[in-house]
Amino acid sequence: MLFETTKLTRIDSLWQGRMYSVFIIVVSLPILIGIKVGHWPSSVLIIIVSSSILVVAKSKERRENSQ
């Protein structure tokens, strides 16, 4: 998750770019707690859905920027 987000998000001083890391922070808390508690299918599902949300958001932004 961290590797993917470091590949996807560019580090800049814009606050819109920093909100991506805020999204990762908010989402990674239930992932870790699910793993430690022992309910690992929930954390796998959260990883899949959140990474798909990130990929869709970044792809839309890139297409808009290239135009």
Partner 1 sequence: MAKNANRWLYIILLVAVLSSFAVIIFDLAPKKYWWLVLVTINLAASVSTVYFVKSFGVKVGLSLTLIIAVLGYVFCSSARLLPFVRENDLFSHYYYFTIACLWVVVMALSKALTQNMSIAFRTMFTFLMILFIEYCMMPVMALFEHYKRGHTEYLFYAIQLSGYLVITGFTMIF
**8 vs 12: CA distance, rounded Å:** 12
**35 vs 29: CA distance, rounded Å:** 10
Site for partner 1 in 26-65 (CB under 8 A): 26-30, 32-34, 36-39, 42, 45-46, 49-50, 53, 56-57, 60-61, 64-65
- Judged by CB under 8 A, the residue of 3, 7, 25, 66 near partner 1 is 25
Q: How far is CA 2 from the centre of its chain?
A: 8
Q: Which residues of the chain form contacts with partner 1 (CB under 8 A)?
A: 15-16, 18-23, 25-30, 32-34, 36-39, 42, 45-46, 49-50, 53, 56-57, 60-61, 64-65
